[in-house]
Structure 1
Amino acid sequence: MATLLFTALGSLFGGPIAGALGALVGRQLDRAIIGTPGREGPRLKELSVTTSSYGTPIPRVHGRMRVPGTIIWATDLVEHRDKQGGGKGKPSYTTYSYSASLAVALSSRPLQGIGRIWADGNLLRGAAGDMKAGGEIRFYNGFGDQPVDPLLVAAEGAGECPAYRGLSYVVFEDLQLGDFGNRIPALTFEVFTSEGELTVSSLLDGVIDDVSGNLPLEGVEGISCEGPLADLLGQMDAVFPLDCDVSGDRLSLGREGASPVRALSDATISVADDAFGAQQGFSRKRLPQPSSRPEILRYYDVDRDYQPGLQRAPGRPAAGQPATIDLPVAIAAGNARSLISRTAQRAGWARQSLSWRTAELDPAIAPGSLVTIPGEPGVWRVEEWEWRESGLELGLWRAPAIAPALVGGDSGRLNPPLDQPVGETILQAFELPWDGNGPGDSPLLYAAVSSPAAGWPGAALFADQGDGQLQPLGASGRTRATIGEVLGVLSPSSPHVFDRNSQIEVRLASPTMALSSADARALAFGANRALLCSEIVQFAGAVSLGNGHWRLSGFLRGRGGTEAVIAGHGVNERFVLLDGTQVPLDPGIVGDLAGVTIAALGLGESQPVISQIACRGITRRPLSPVHPRMASDGSGGLVLRWTRRARGAWGWPDGVDLPLNEETESYQVVYESAGVALAAWTVFEPRIEIAASLLASLVEASPAGNFAVRQQGRHGLSEPLLFAATA
């Protein structure tokens, strides 16, 4: 407040220079009145990120912590080019992606393992060990027998690459950088050591010999030491008071207040003029209330993904500015609040001191010993002693009587990144009928790619033409197709009427996927189209049965010219909702060879998932004729008539004749029996006349034969329209 007041007055009367001088005077006055905030230990850092600076200390990690690591080796970015398209007159395009390989040092002492890895704040590796981006990761625990990494050897040479024994590190090989802006992301690592309960001796292990200190650090789950060990012990002493004993042949560290309490004899009166306590043999002193008492503890909160947390001591705040203790430990919020509560209590107790003179020499009483004094309550600590002619003079401080701090703590709110499993990839490739857009000469190939896991990152798609080579088709993206399995068999029905009787139960790949019902108007505009094996249907009713199970009813069958397979359904067929989430495939890469399959390889698979292409050829195949009409020609012969259909012309907006959508109108008429053609004709109009004599010979050769009419297109024949041999 004084700073603001003196700054305003100085600026008002003397301009900017006087304002600056006024601010300086005001700050001095504020410090004199309020005091300055205290701090013990170096300031606790926010979560830092991976660096590659020379001279950066690599921490010694105990327990479990989250560390940034230091890049000790890396390659340049590797560019990957993926050219797609360009077939059948279509323009080609090239996509670029980048990857990098790097080694990151984590700890200068051995680790047991690593847990989660964060990249730019998002999870790169989940708690289950699943990578969320492409690439391989190898972990080296830092023991003395760890081998050399093969990637580093290949890059640097067998005689030039160290094994980094004694250093725990990880190696990323071909880490895909597309999700990170094609750069190496800021990495942090959750690491673990094999230690159980952390003790003071575990901090000294491998650093100081001939020391004992099996003092447990209650509640502490991890410690990161980046500087001198003495600095760390000084920070720990603020909340875990230590007793140091050097009377033996080795350094011994123990808990303050754990030594046995011994009784002092009565005080000895000195006759010296300058001696203290001339009449009593002791003198008492009480220090003033400290201007800054430790009441705030900053730490790494294990319940907030090791982000820095802060806890205050409970109770009424002391006068003056509270001091802050920065402790580089991973601890829960409740334990942290208990620590700062006990620390604040100790600071309040340690304000009474006594100077005591005794004529008895007890070898067991030395600096650090706990004693009781005749006529004085409580326990006192020997801080110093001096041998004088008048006796042994002891400097005593009141030892705090710390009650258990039964207080709770709250970590606060955390919005962690979702750690969803990568999940397996589910794939169904198929071809769809021509929709009337474009020339209609290229197959409309799609892949429905999905996964049970909501965090599925997508998969890479490939075409396998049977030669053992996988041709890349691009990435599927993260959008999951609604895909599942039909439980039971869909019964046959007419494609000409609304099927109100059939019902099927569908089990979707994930319970989070959903279906919806549709009315007649929505069905007319193409809603709720689905692929069941090789038949395209529409459904009106969808009722959830729970846990991803749905009952579908009210069907329109044989949509898109698939009426020929209505009666061919089996059990456990694939269900794919045709809702636009499918991935288009480049027909120029897939090709026209029979037996071509589509493969998908996601992060959750060690081997690609393979799918046959359902409805193969349906895009360019003409639709079968309809409305068969057969009549006698009056002389014993037959006249066969039919109505053609046009692929891509699914509506009838003008009510007149449909476009042909083929080069010429022609039909193949075959008289066949048991799949064997006995006679064949090619006609160029939707009718044919069969003479009586020819009809008689055909019937005589095969009474059970049928006439089959197929429309001829640029790329093949339609499904047959069947006529009986007799009218």
Structure 2
Amino acid sequence: MATLVFGSIGTMLGGPLGGTIGSMIGSQFDTALFGSSSREGPRLKELAVTTSSYGQLLPRHFGRMRTAGSVIWASDLVERSEVQGSGKGGPSVTTYSYSANFAVALSSRPIRALGRIWADGQLLRGADGVLKAAGTLRIHTGEGDQAADPLLASAEGVERCPAYRGVAYVVFEDLDLSGFYNRIPSLTFEVIADDDFALHDVIGATLEDVDGAVKLPEVVGYSSEGAPAADLQTFAQIMPLEVDAAGEDLVIARDRRQTAAISLSEPAVATADDDFGSLTGFTRHRAAPLDNSPSILRYYDVERDYQASLQRATGRSLAGEPAAIDLPAALTASAARSMIERTSRRIDWTRDRISWRTSELHPHIAPGALVTLPGIDGQWRIREWEWREGGIELALERALPVGATTPPALGSSPGRVNLPADLPPGQTALTAFELPFDAADGSPDAARAVAAVSSASAGWGGAALYADRGDGALSPLGPSGRARAVMGSALSILPPANPLLLDRGSQLEVQLVDPTMQLPSIDMRRLAAGMNLALVGEELVQFLHATPLGQGRWRLDGLLRGRGGTEGAVAGHANAEAFVLLGTSLVALDTGLLGSGSDRRVLAFGRGDSEAALSPVHLGGIALRPLAPVHARRTLAADGSWILSWTRRARGGWSWQDGIDVPLVEQAERYIVTLGEIDAPLGTWTTDTPQLGIDAAALAPLAHHAGARFQVRQLGTHALSAPLLLAVLP
């Protein structure tokens, strides 16, 4: 005799045609299925983090899953220092950076590939397979012939380093930790173990002589952490699985081989007093409904990056808390909704049960087989059978009719979640320039060089900056950081305008590198406070209004021109000039490394760049160059002499708040007045006051130089200002 019940697999015996198999075979199946211990099967849990503990279970992954893995090797953090100095005896700054070398085991069976990697919840490796931080990633898929990793072999010795064959693992070499607070981040990995898998792949990997070719079309991925019986119990929650050990192989879901239901003969009457159905040969009853029938399915949602989610079945609400099914598998929301709907309907249908006795032997009667009964409608599935003296006793439950498992067309949603954007690193955009001296933000004797670094992609992770003095040698200037400057290029050419007046007639169209970047509009009070200052070519401009034109294009008007001493560039604009909105995203550059030559350049190289971005240094020397005098006047005296006068300006004194001249930041107040060409003057005068008198006797010899111009320049501590036209000889 033989009895087979899914909940007591350890008592399995042979089938009706095979005779008694014996308890030894049953115990062998029991040990293979359940394992030698009684550890609990897999349970749905929130995403874990990477750990490193002895004795930690390493799961087997099937399909596509997200896992934390276990650190199996790591070296000490690698510290690097870099000294950056301003040169010429100036102060130097030492910066430190850290990287790590470590290996993480992912699966105790081979995998096909590795997908995305999350670090502290953010993407470290996107779908394109490119790391978003500096470092090298090597993937070992766990094949039986894989070689030892070269980094581990060099650190531990070739003779002492295992190849971890049969274990899929990854090795990070020199991973930059600057974005993770100089520590190894919490990592999770998207493991791609198989393109497709069935139940046999899960059970047959650890148990021989098993026929379990049950397809799992809706299951994207599954992780096995226990004995095969735990895996069977997991899937039996959402699909009817039958186990038959009557033959040479352990057959799971026998009904998959059945093309038509088996017609049973009339029931056999009982021969013993205690047998059921003594007169009819069968009994029929309907089981009581469950107090809390499962109506919730918890699973890992593929559309939410494998985070835990749930779906509910439709139906009348019952008293008490509804039961939930934990399915530690990766599913879509629609597949999970269909599963819980089918499961709910199947549980209700299978409450109708029959105990049937037959005296005929049939080779295909086994658990899971579909049968029809004389005089009773519908199809019935064999759940148990037992060979007794009075006949073969079958425990049957109603099989779902065709179409009953088809769930209604109900909507399903994975829910709303803010997933980390998988953005490409993007190309680096760069514009380097000097800033005018600001008394509140620097020294009058030091230049202030900055770089605006940005990208069209929000996934840009910054760039390394280098200085080229013009000789081709590159000196590192440090990292740019990940903050993107608001910058782009001019689409129109600014016409000349008076830098002393608000330019209401000119407009400037610009194209920003990223269409999502914004330019603000302000009022006159904020304009007077210095807001909305931008670099356009070699001119600093303020703007009142910024009008979006779509696709990252903006129109700027209400302009203040020639700001910060750049009035000399008002009439010198060209096509496609650089545009940079000055703000907090500018990167300060080491002027000692950059130098002051006219052919110096700044280079930037990011992870998404095929070649370095480079830029000359615009506004070179503007911080140390005195401002050109203004308000030129010529007074003709009664004796025929000229008195040339002007008004001085001071570097950094951009606001004239109280009507008193701002303090001069030069070591002394000095001016040079020239007649004719500046490079080859006809005459030169120097003065310590903002005026110069030329008597009639000195003017007389110059009469034959009609049209020659008197110009004045302020002689500063470090440079000469731009010239101011004072007068022209008649």
- Give me the TM-score of the superposition, normalised by structure 1: 0.84
Question: Percent identity over the alignment?
Answer: 51
Which amino acid in 2 is paired with 1:325? I
- Counterpart mapping for 1:542-553 below 5 A: 542-553=546-557
- Counterpart mapping for 1:217-256 below 5 A: 217-244=216-243, 250-254=249-253, 256=255
| Structure 2 CA distance for aligned equivalents of residues 255 and 420 of structure 1 | 48
Deviation at 1:246, TM superposition (A): 5.3
Query: Where does residue 5 of structure 2 map in the other structure?
Result: none
Q: Is the 8 A contact 2:43 2:326 kept in 1?
A: yes
Query: Where does residue 140 of structure 1 map in the other structure?
Result: 140
Q: Is the 8 A contact 1:528 1:578 kept in 2?
A: yes
Deviation at 1:622, TM superposition (A): 1.4
Q: Is the 8 A contact 1:628 1:721 kept in 2?
A: yes
User: Is 1:506 the counterpart of 2:510 in the alignment?
Assistant: yes
Query: Where does residue 425 of structure 1 map in the other structure?
Result: 428
Query: Where does residue 27 of structure 2 map in the other structure?
Result: none
Q: Please, which moves more after superposition, 645-654 or 566-575?
A: 645-654
Which amino acid in 2 is paired with 1:234? Q
| Structure 1 CA distance for aligned equivalents of residues 161 and 471 of structure 2 | 40
Query: Where does residue 446 of structure 2 map in the other structure?
Result: 442
| Structure 2 CA distance for aligned equivalents of residues 657 and 287 of structure 1 | 100
Deviation at 1:574, TM superposition (A): 0.9
Q: Please, which moves more after superposition, 429-438 or 638-647?
A: 638-647
Q: Is the 8 A contact 2:297 2:336 kept in 1?
A: yes
Query: Where does residue 724 of structure 2 map in the other structure?
Result: 721
| Structure 1 CA distance for aligned equivalents of residues 153 and 270 of structure 2 | 78
Deviation at 1:658, TM superposition (A): 4.6
* SS of residue paired to 1:230: helix
| Structure 2 CA distance for aligned equivalents of residues 358 and 538 of structure 1 | 97
Change (3 A) 1:170 1:696: farther
Deviation at 1:490, TM superposition (A): 0.8
- Counterpart mapping for 1:188-203 below 5 A: 188-196=188-196, 198-203=197-202
| Structure 2 CA distance for aligned equivalents of residues 493 and 536 of structure 1 | 13
Change (3 A) 1:693 1:140: farther
Query: Where does residue 347 of structure 1 map in the other structure?
Result: 347
Change (3 A) 1:265 1:574: same
Change (3 A) 1:383 1:449: closer
Query: Where does residue 69 of structure 2 map in the other structure?
Result: 69
Query: Where does residue 338 of structure 2 map in the other structure?
Result: 338
Which amino acid in 2 is paired with 1:650? W
* SS of residue paired to 1:335: helix
Query: Where does residue 659 of structure 1 map in the other structure?
Result: 663
Q: Is the 8 A contact 1:488 1:572 kept in 2?
A: yes
User: Is 1:628 the counterpart of 2:632 in the alignment?
Assistant: yes
Which amino acid in 1 is paired with 2:508? I
- Counterpart mapping for 1:692-711 below 5 A: 705-711=708-714
Deviation at 1:549, TM superposition (A): 1.6
* SS of residue paired to 1:233: helix
Change (3 A) 1:154 1:716: farther
- Counterpart mapping for 1:175-574 below 5 A: 175-196=175-196, 198-204=197-203, 206-208=205-207, 211-244=210-243, 250-254=249-253, 256=255, 259=258, 260-269=260-269, 276-284=276-284, 293-316=293-316, 323-385=323-385, 392-401=391-400, 403=404, 404-406=406-408, 407-437=410-440, 439-466=443-470, 470-574=474-578
Change (3 A) 1:265 1:319: farther
| Structure 2 CA distance for aligned equivalents of residues 546 and 383 of structure 1 | 67
Structure 1, residues 303-323: CA drift from partner, whole Å, max 9, x if none? 332122234443236788765
Query: Where does residue 120 of structure 1 map in the other structure?
Result: 120
Structure 1, residues 225-276: CA drift from partner, whole Å, max 9, x if none? 1222332123212322234455665454446476231111223346566665
Q: Which runs of 5+ in 2 are unaligned?
A: 1-38
* SS of residue paired to 1:617: coil
Structure 1, residues 321-347: CA drift from partner, whole Å, max 9, x if none? 765432221112332233233334433
Q: Is the 8 A contact 1:282 1:357 kept in 2?
A: yes
* SS of residue paired to 2:501: coil
Which amino acid in 1 is paired with 2:498? S
Which amino acid in 1 is paired with 2:232? L
1:611 aligns with one of 608, 612, 615:
615
Query: Where does residue 16 of structure 1 map in the other structure?
Result: none
| Structure 1 CA distance for aligned equivalents of residues 545 and 324 of structure 2 | 65
Which amino acid in 1 is paired with 2:533? R
Change (3 A) 1:551 1:272: closer
Structure 1, residues 470-517: CA drift from partner, whole Å, max 9, x if none? 444444444432212111211112223332322221112223332333
* SS of residue paired to 1:343: helix
* SS of residue paired to 1:612: strand
Change (3 A) 1:161 1:635: farther
RMSD (Å) for aligned C-alpha atoms: 3.5
Q: Please, which moves more after superposition, 106-115 or 345-354?
A: 345-354
Q: Is the 8 A contact 2:244 2:366 kept in 1?
A: no
Deviation at 1:616, TM superposition (A): 0.6
- Give me the TM-score of the superposition, normalised by structure 2: 0.83
Structure 1, residues 151-205: CA drift from partner, whole Å, max 9, x if none? 3344334444444443322222333334433322221122223413x32233246
Change (3 A) 1:710 1:348: same
The count of aligned residue pairs is 686
Structure 1, residues 538-584: CA drift from partner, whole Å, max 9, x if none? 22332222222221223222222212222211001111222444233
* SS of residue paired to 1:235: helix
* SS of residue paired to 1:220: coil
| Structure 2 CA distance for aligned equivalents of residues 693 and 377 of structure 1 | 134
| Structure 2 CA distance for aligned equivalents of residues 69 and 646 of structure 1 | 64
Deviation at 1:433, TM superposition (A): 1.7
Deviation at 1:221, TM superposition (A): 1.0
Structure 1, residues 337-364: CA drift from partner, whole Å, max 9, x if none? 3323333443344445544443433333
Deviation at 1:592, TM superposition (A): 3.2
